[in-house]
A = this chain, B = another copy of it.
Amino acid sequence: MSKLIFGFGDKKAKKIPNSRNILGGKGSNLAEMARLGLPVPPGFTISTKMCEIFYKGNKKLNTKIKAEIKKELKKIESKTKKKFGDNNNPLLVSVRSGSRVSMPGMMDTILNLGLNDTTVEALSKKTENDRFAKDSYRRFIQMYANVVMGVETYHFEEMIDNYKLTKGVLQDTELNSGDWEGLINNFKKLIKEKTNKNFPQDVNEQLFGAINAVFLSWESKRAKTYRKLNQIPSDWGTAVNVQSMVFGNMGNDCATGVAFTRNPSTGENKFFGEYLINAQGEDVVAGSRTPRYITKKAREDAGAKEKSMEETMPKVFKELKNIFLKLEKHYKDMQDIEFTVENKKLWMLQTRNGKRTAKAGIKIAVDMVKEKLISKKEAILRIDANTLDTLLHPTLDEKVEKKVIAKGLPASPGAASGKVVFTADEAERMSNQKEDTILVRLETSPEDIHGMHAAKGILTARGGMTSHAAVVARGMGRPCVSGSAEINIDYESKEFKVGDLVIKEGDTITIDGGSGRVMEGIVPTVKPDISGYFSTIMKWSDDFRKLKIRTNSETPKDTKMARNFGAEGIGLCRTEHMFFEEERILSVRQMIVSKDLDGRKIALERLLPHQKNDFKEIFKIMKGLPVTVRLLDPPLHEFLPKTDKDMEDLARSLNLGVKEIKDRVAELHELNPMLGHRGCRLGISFPEIYEMQCRAIFTALIECKKEKIKSVIPEIMIPLVSTEDELGIMRKLVDEVAKKVQKENNLKLEYFVGTMIELPRAALRAAPISKYADFFSFGTNDLTQTTYGISRDDSGKFLNDYLDHKIFDTDPFVSIDKDGVGELVKIASERGRKNNKKLKLGICGEHGGDPKSIEFCSRAGLNYVSCSPFRVPIAKLAAAQAELRK
């Protein structure tokens, strides 16, 4: 058996390979800091390997590991000169989880372990602070009872509240040592009552119970949810860190704090942190007390009065500053740090690469290249491409007058509008109904994660920039305003008040996580700024990447935006979207309800000029870049009205009987429209539709030529092909229209014809299909649907079950399924290219904007990916990363 326990606390801790995987992030970094000579309270890490053994076995610690733990504990005792469970100088420890990647607040932690009815007296004597000792003991009992014994915390909180009521005080700080002593006795009774067990006085029993509980918390519901959201494999497991306690709450020469070596919101190269005097770490993170700034400058900038750490503890501040610099230099990245000051002595409790906003991520990466800390390549690889999304979305239009009703901390940038909801469940429910919401909470907790994910933005009344709400929102890319003390939430009556103003559930508000403002109603937004640091990263990405990035777009607005973001062509122009506009839909419907070819032709004749103009606009914007136009794809019934009323209106407009319309709607109804009369099947049944569309494309080209506008070489794409004959027949149709239009205008035109590969059969038959194709574009949405036999629209009914059972690592509609869909993409690429050397290959499903899928496309040798305009920069970065990782 390999080594399962690793001690740390001085420069002697051995460096082990893949230490992060074995010791978890926290344990690995504690050992590393100790090796660097930084002040780290001694302790040991039980490796993730043990977690695996734990879950393979009966979920209990075995005798052997217990013996080893005791052995390691001895080492801490010798380093700290304290003794675990000792009546004179007792060693107290913390027990914390620590997985490979940070999962803030998702697993359990127990502090002050080692206290019992006798050691608490020793602690009291030793610290000469009886209140502190009793307070620590009751905290420990509360935590332990909750985490290990399953007694819910609110029982204890209620007890404290009732006691304060009886005593007529408001604050915990007003309770004295005797008060806590009484409460401790009541706590113990409560535990006995609820669990039929005594609170354990044996410190070893305490320790093993705590370690066991931390391992168990790896599979808690909230940890599993977090892993699902963040795509963390469940077999990684967690390590457990047992570390000697240091106290930030032993008096006014004590403090505790968290800090970032740079600003995690803006990326500015300035220390950024908060601290509290005479407090334990949880007080800062939980947001129950509003913390103070660390640097004087930050305090002054915020106009805060409470003295900064730089001012109250200048010596410790200086020491901290040096440690920050040392850590950044060592880790070559921005660090997120936890520290405690115990009687003026600084202790480092944690360091890790800090989470940051997308904006900060980019700035830090670019700055660090300038500072020669990292290379361009490292900078590119360091940015999470998915997070760029948050930078690309519009921010509030500052020119518009806003009704600002409250202010809070700018906890996570971006602007969002939505209906106010007060519970995570409601946010999720509304999101399922496609309603935008802002989740408003006093403060958030891990139980709220699903609601934070479902909401468009988060507003809290309490908590700082490092509160749960702020950290999680930044990670998710959700705008967040935290600690807006002005708002007064009443969960009961489902409303919040700001002075006299009452905002009820369902009312619309806007929050700006960049400035901390809260506004009534919807505030218009302006385009994002993608210059500066952002454009530097884009430029570097362009230098490294080989994959071309196109966009899916069919409106001039989107097309322009995509061009601004650097799109190098249109990979998917969905012509049917053009059919839905007001002035056209009637002609479309007339075409569909026509009983014969002549009727259809008349309606198509009306559509032609509209469609031609649409294409011309887009061709003009794309100035010579490739534009892939997909001919009509959805089944015709999608264009027909659904309600009786709308059918009556249509009948009136077309001067037809209502029955006629209803009959046609009934006739076109399909049981499985996804697998129905759509795509090139329409082109085969109603060639006149595709003919009109081709004529529109070619006429637009002709007009561009005549008007000397730099036009494009269009790529006409035939959807839903499953046999070579379909494409052969459709290609002939395109060629014939082209011939006619050229002859009519006596001008020569260039164009390509290709097909979507979006059905398994098309992938398998790529060789014969490629005879008729200049290009293949993988429609991975439909290809995923047919390869898996899963309708994306219906998958919600079982997707969560599949993620829970680990059948899916991720939703296959988000990240491409490399094994199944991916094999078909590879088969089609190989067979197609073998047969047609010049075949161009691209992808135009939603996957085209997903970094993992882009990496797959890069390895599969595709020429381009196409994605929605907002994801173009993400795709560019991801393409560069894919190239660099090759």
Write the residues of chain A forming the contact surface with B, with a CB cutoff of 8 angstroms: 668, 670-677, 681, 684-685, 720, 722-723, 725-726, 729, 758-761, 764-765, 782, 785-791, 793-794, 797-798, 801-802, 805-808, 817, 819-821, 823-824
Can you name 9 A-B pairs with beta carbons within 8 Å? Answer: A672-B791, A674-B675, A675-B675, A676-B794, A725-B806, A759-B788, A761-B819, A761-B820, A782-B789
Q: Are B794 and A672 neighbours in the complex by a CB distance under 8 Å?
A: yes
Q: Are A723 and B807 neighbours in the complex by a CB distance under 8 Å?
A: yes
Provide the bound-state CA to CA distance between A786 and B785, in Å.
Answer: 8
Select which of B670, B726, B782, B802 is within 8 A of A791 by beta carbon: B670
Q: Are B675 and A807 neighbours in the complex by a CB distance under 8 Å?
A: no
User: Known: A794-B675, A794-B676. Is A807-B764 also a contact (CB below 8 A)?
Assistant: no
CB neighbours of A797 from chain B (8 A)? 668, 670, 676-677, 685
CB neighbours of A685 from chain B (8 A)? 797-798, 801
User: Known: A684-B802, A723-B807, A782-B789. Is A761-B794 also a contact (CB below 8 A)?
Assistant: no
User: What's the nearest-Cβ distance from chain B to residue A151, in Å?
Assistant: 27
Q: Are B684 and A793 neighbours in the complex by a CB distance under 8 Å?
A: no
Can you add 16 more A-B contacts, CB < 8 Å, to A759-B789, A764-B787? A668-B797, A671-B673, A671-B791, A673-B794, A675-B786, A676-B791, A681-B802, A685-B798, A723-B807, A725-B805, A725-B806, A761-B820, A764-B823, A764-B824, A765-B820, A782-B789
Q: Are A720 and B765 neighbours in the complex by a CB distance under 8 Å?
A: no
CB neighbours of A675 from chain B (8 A)? 672, 674-675, 785-786, 789-791, 794
CB neighbours of A791 from chain B (8 A)? 670-672, 674-676
Q: Are B787 and A761 neighbours in the complex by a CB distance under 8 Å?
A: yes
User: What's the nearest-Cβ distance from chain B to residue A25, in Å?
Assistant: 28
Q: Are B672 and A764 neighbours in the complex by a CB distance under 8 Å?
A: no
CB neighbours of A793 from chain B (8 A)? 670-672
CB neighbours of A765 from chain B (8 A)? 819-820
User: What's the nearest-Cβ distance from chain B to residue A799, in Å?
Assistant: 10
CB neighbours of A808 from chain B (8 A)? 723
User: What's the nearest-Cβ distance from chain B to residue A670, in Å?
Assistant: 4
Select which of B782, B794, B806, B820 is within 8 A of A722 by beta carbon: B820
Closest to A684 in B: B801
The 3 closest A-B pairs by CB, nearest first: A675-B791, A672-B791, A761-B820
Select which of B670, B723, B758 is within 8 A of A794 by beta carbon: B670
Provide the bound-state CA to CA distance between A759 and B817, in Å.
Answer: 14
Q: Are A789 and B788 neighbours in the complex by a CB distance under 8 Å?
A: no
User: What's the nearest-Cβ distance from chain B to residue A533, in Å?
Assistant: 42
Provide the bound-state CA to CA distance between A671 and B726, in Å.
Answer: 27
CB neighbours of A722 from chain B (8 A)? 787-790, 820
Provide the bound-state CA to CA distance between A725 and B802, in Å.
Answer: 10
Q: Are B819 and A764 neighbours in the complex by a CB distance under 8 Å?
A: yes
Quick one: which of A759, A789, A790, A797 has the most chain B CB within 10 A? A789
Q: Are B671 and A807 neighbours in the complex by a CB distance under 8 Å?
A: no
User: Known: A684-B807, A729-B805. Is A764-B798 also a contact (CB below 8 A)?
Assistant: no
Q: Are B684 and A798 neighbours in the complex by a CB distance under 8 Å?
A: yes
CB neighbours of A789 from chain B (8 A)? 674-675, 720, 722, 758-761, 782, 786
Closest to A670 in B: B794
User: Known: A677-B794, A684-B807. Is A824-B760 also a contact (CB below 8 A)?
Assistant: yes
CB neighbours of A672 from chain B (8 A)? 672-675, 791, 793-794
Provide the bound-state CA to CA distance between A72 and B725, in Å.
Answer: 40
User: Known: A720-B789, A722-B788. Is A798-B677 also a contact (CB below 8 A)?
Assistant: yes
Closest to A760 in B: B760
Provide the bound-state CA to CA distance between A819 and B766, in Å.
Answer: 11
User: What's the nearest-Cβ distance from chain B to residue A674, in Å?
Assistant: 4
User: What's the nearest-Cβ distance from chain B to residue A9, in Å?
Assistant: 43
CB neighbours of A819 from chain B (8 A)? 761, 764-765
User: Known: A760-B824, A761-B787. Is A726-B807 also a contact (CB below 8 A)?
Assistant: yes
CB neighbours of A671 from chain B (8 A)? 673-674, 791, 793-794
Closest to A667 in B: B797
User: What's the nearest-Cβ distance from chain B to residue A268, in Å?
Assistant: 46
CB neighbours of A729 from chain B (8 A)? 805, 807
Closest to A820 in B: B761
Closest to A817 in B: B761
CB neighbours of A823 from chain B (8 A)? 764
Closest to A728 in B: B807
Provide the bound-state CA to CA distance between A662 and B77, in Å.
Answer: 67
CB neighbours of A758 from chain B (8 A)? 789
Provide the bound-state CA to CA distance between A193 and B45, in Å.
Answer: 106
Provide the bound-state CA to CA distance between A671 and B759, in Å.
Answer: 19
Q: Are A760 and B807 neighbours in the complex by a CB distance under 8 Å?
A: no
CB neighbours of A806 from chain B (8 A)? 725
CB neighbours of A677 from chain B (8 A)? 794, 797-798
CB neighbours of A676 from chain B (8 A)? 791, 794, 797
CB neighbours of A802 from chain B (8 A)? 681, 684
Closest to A674 in B: B672
CB neighbours of A674 from chain B (8 A)? 671-672, 675, 789, 791
Q: Are A787 and B788 neighbours in the complex by a CB distance under 8 Å?
A: no
Closest to A671 in B: B793
Provide the bound-state CA to CA distance between A758 and B786, in Å.
Answer: 11
CB neighbours of A821 from chain B (8 A)? 761
Q: Are A805 and B684 neighbours in the complex by a CB distance under 8 Å?
A: yes
User: What's the nearest-Cβ distance from chain B to residue A312, in Å?
Assistant: 56
CB neighbours of A670 from chain B (8 A)? 791, 793-794, 797
Closest to A677 in B: B797
Provide the bound-state CA to CA distance between A684 and B673, in Å.
Answer: 26
User: What's the nearest-Cβ distance from chain B to residue A397, in Å?
Assistant: 37
